[in-house]
Structure 1
């Protein structure tokens, strides 16, 4: 494998549905590894709608910077203004290391490039005395933080990697392509967002409450209060309920010992309805083709709170439904709208999406917030401390890692040619709601 010609996916930044699988023979041999560095090669990755979001907003949020074009990239693909590389979640193998706590043969879970080209990263252990050698479980996994200069404008979560040493069992799981490893690639980062929402941002316990949105850390009740966060007795209406974050969030809400919503309703397209119903995460599933006012009347108790969570409903349906309901005074004062995800971002409309993301949205007549996982995590760590937070997230993830989402089928592919095919299928809208795309490289 050391002398195998590496290949990488190259995207047109303006039309990121267009891709090229590019061999890089001149990248070999690899140079000597610098001090405090790891040489990593992607071993497992997943493809989801998020990959297109990373491309569409890659300049604004510096996702194109994370894995830059390699120096050996030939023309015309060496033009960084036109072409770039995007990333996915999964595992990378440590081919070489000059970091004593991370030996060769370890695997790192985190944000990995689409390709078989090895990547050199400068890192530091999360703890100065951190030792990955005897830790293989998620609750106790060591972590490293990337210090490479080109990565520092990206949000912190993209520079954090969990370390699984060669002496543990994770490498064997990866080799066997287990369902749990597939869930690590497909669902772990989705679970993290859902966990932060359910256990912190939408938790009325003042000791755990954090503001879900972008901005400075503050406990100002005018921005986000326990009353805002309280979903007990509320009707929760979920748009794009088949999204992975949505299904996990709904499951976490249902499992709460206290503070549960009265009902959790999924509003789904007909194409996704059977899968959404099969997850078992929702009390009822309705069609987005219907009248939102009638849907709420059928499932909402008068006088109780109505919370709409939009995980990426098609064609802006979330804001449209919220505006339609807010036009009726009985809902306006008790309405909460939460933006979480986005639909597949077509390159033809991406410029409008980027402009909207960069601009301050108009203030609606109802309470509205857009969540940001990185800010929620930072605030949750302030509440619990580093050890407390990561232990809680790991315990919550352990409940999902083996079983995943009910009805979600894992489709394993092998090698970069299969990754290219999967990207094309996602771009064409051919991936079924119950299908999870995972690849072993």
Structure 2
């Protein structure tokens, strides 16, 4: 059991320019630190996941404003955004009852004070002033008892996979909307990362349809067998086997690694035949190798921003489906993916309890020391 003081709580703080430098400190949203104001509620964060996706949030914290969601009070320090579950501990909001369990986007800590707006039977939006200009998709919170995609017995899997699968679903949809840019092959780096696996799963559901692309994963030698066992890749290669791919095959590159030398090698490989049709930058699992994309042969890499695709599909036809239909399609896809993951034992939950264990887990995820099959879930309190 944790000896954490519930009044002060704890939160993980990261040096924005030195991601390996992390520390624990009192949670600024804990009861002893911040009394509630009218219209506010305090959420007690109970379980959250730590994946390569969170490292991407940190690596792109300045450029994509991820640090702005949960201000630390110190310009040098950032609060790492995570996905997980919390319970309403205190409420000064009509319609938001104490004890309600909530899924959403939190700082890696024990508490979050929100200013709920648009409270409905399904959830609410955090209308805090500092979040109003940030991407809406990160500001929405769902009540677990009103969420058709929630399963109490698979809560840890949801914490690990659901935020990543949302991105996977939207990448697949983005590629489909654009006709795969005329490519017949989709090449995914960091193929063992959970967002890449989710994307490959969505792409694999298109097998047998006209225009469905071949799905090729690139990964490290230790993860080849795992990636092949999933059945969603048509081929899995080690990074040094890149030259074995046919350089004339029209290809879309989906970059989950952010590895600048790898990106240059892929662009160069397909450049001679002008076969690289689109270069899509998604993540930064290889955060230490992040670099600029200037002077690359072939198309300029374009950063994929999931909220932009949400905005497109939330709009009216013909480009959009409307908000309700988007949620229905994403929910249906998520339920199918969760069932396949659970049945196939694709992910083994690695629960870390207590603040020191959380700090250690962050270091291991940052250093790429977590096995691809593991899903790290943290409970600070």
Q: TM-score, normalised by structure 2?
A: 0.86
**Secondary structure of 2:134's match?**
coil
Deviation at 1:229, TM superposition (A): 4.2
Deviation at 1:411, TM superposition (A): 0.7
What is the alpha-carbon distance in structure 2 between the residues aligned to residue 308 and residue 64 of structure 1?
Answer: 28
Unaligned runs of 5+ in 2: none
What is the alpha-carbon distance in structure 2 between the residues aligned to residue 166 and residue 313 of structure 1?
Answer: 37
Identify the residue that residue 324 of structure 2 maps to in structure 1. Answer: 387
Deviation at 1:158, TM superposition (A): 1.8
Aligned length: 370
Deviation at 1:363, TM superposition (A): 7.4
Identify the residue that residue 225 of structure 2 maps to in structure 1. Answer: 274
Q: Does 1:265 align with 2:259?
A: no
What is the alpha-carbon distance in structure 2 between the residues aligned to residue 308 and residue 154 of structure 1?
Answer: 28
Deviation at 1:281, TM superposition (A): 1.3
Identify the residue that residue 51 of structure 2 maps to in structure 1. Answer: 48
Deviation at 1:168, TM superposition (A): 10
Q: Does 1:64 align with 2:60?
A: no
Q: What's the CA shift string for 1:341-390, capped at 9, x where partnerless?
A: 223323xx77xx5xx48xxx557434753321010110011111111111
Give the stretch that moved more between structures: 380-389 or 257-266: 257-266
Identify the residue that residue 19 of structure 2 maps to in structure 1. Answer: 16
Deviation at 1:313, TM superposition (A): 5.8
RMSD of aligned Cα (Å): 3.0
Identify the residue that residue 340 of structure 1 maps to in structure 2. Answer: 282
Write out aligned runs for 1:376-415 (5 A).
Answer: 376-382=309-315, 383-404=320-341, 406=344, 407-415=346-354
Q: Does 1:244 align with 2:244?
A: no
What is the alpha-carbon distance in structure 2 between the residues aligned to residue 242 and residue 35 of structure 1?
Answer: 46
Q: What's the CA shift string for 1:115-166, capped at 9, x where partnerless?
A: 22x322112126xxx22xxxxxxxxxx1311111122343222211112249
Unaligned runs of 5+ in 1: 70-77, 132-141, 204-208, 210-225
Identify the residue that residue 150 of structure 1 maps to in structure 2. Answer: 130
Identify the residue that residue 375 of structure 1 maps to in structure 2. Answer: 308
Q: Does 1:183 align with 2:157?
A: yes
Deviation at 1:113, TM superposition (A): 1.4
What is the alpha-carbon distance in structure 2 between the residues aligned to residue 112 and residue 188 of structure 1?
Answer: 14
**Secondary structure of 2:168's match?**
helix
Q: TM-score, normalised by structure 1?
A: 0.75
Identify the residue that residue 217 of structure 1 maps to in structure 2. Answer: none
Give the stretch that moved more between structures: 427-436 or 393-402: 427-436
Query: Do the aligned residues in 2 keep the contact of 1:253 with 1:260 (CA within 8 Å)?
Result: no
Identify the residue that residue 85 of structure 2 maps to in structure 1. Answer: 91
Q: Does 1:253 align with 2:247?
A: no
Deviation at 1:262, TM superposition (A): 4.8
**Secondary structure of 1:424's match?**
helix
Q: Does 1:104 align with 2:98?
A: yes
Q: What's the CA shift string for 1:289-322, capped at 9, x where partnerless?
A: 12x342226xxxx7x6322222216453133212
Query: Do the aligned residues in 2 keep the contact of 1:38 with 1:94 (CA within 8 Å)?
Result: yes
Identify the residue that residue 138 of structure 1 maps to in structure 2. Answer: none
**Secondary structure of 2:19's match?**
coil
Structure of greater Rg: 1
What is the alpha-carbon distance in structure 2 between the residues aligned to residue 194 and residue 25 of structure 1?
Answer: 33
Aligned CA distance change for structure 1 residues 260 and 414 (closer, same or farther; 3 Å): farther
Identify the residue that residue 174 of structure 2 maps to in structure 1. Answer: 201
**Among 102, 112, 115, the residue aligned to 2:109:** 115
What is the alpha-carbon distance in structure 2 between the residues aligned to residue 252 and residue 44 of structure 1?
Answer: 27
Aligned CA distance change for structure 1 residues 424 and 377 (closer, same or farther; 3 Å): same
Query: Do the aligned residues in 2 keep the contact of 1:230 with 1:259 (CA within 8 Å)?
Result: no
Deviation at 1:101, TM superposition (A): 3.0
Aligned CA distance change for structure 1 residues 367 and 305 (closer, same or farther; 3 Å): farther
What is the alpha-carbon distance in structure 1 between the residues aligned to residue 281 and residue 79 of structure 2?
Answer: 27
Query: Do the aligned residues in 2 keep the contact of 1:183 with 1:402 (CA within 8 Å)?
Result: no
Deviation at 1:260, TM superposition (A): 5.3
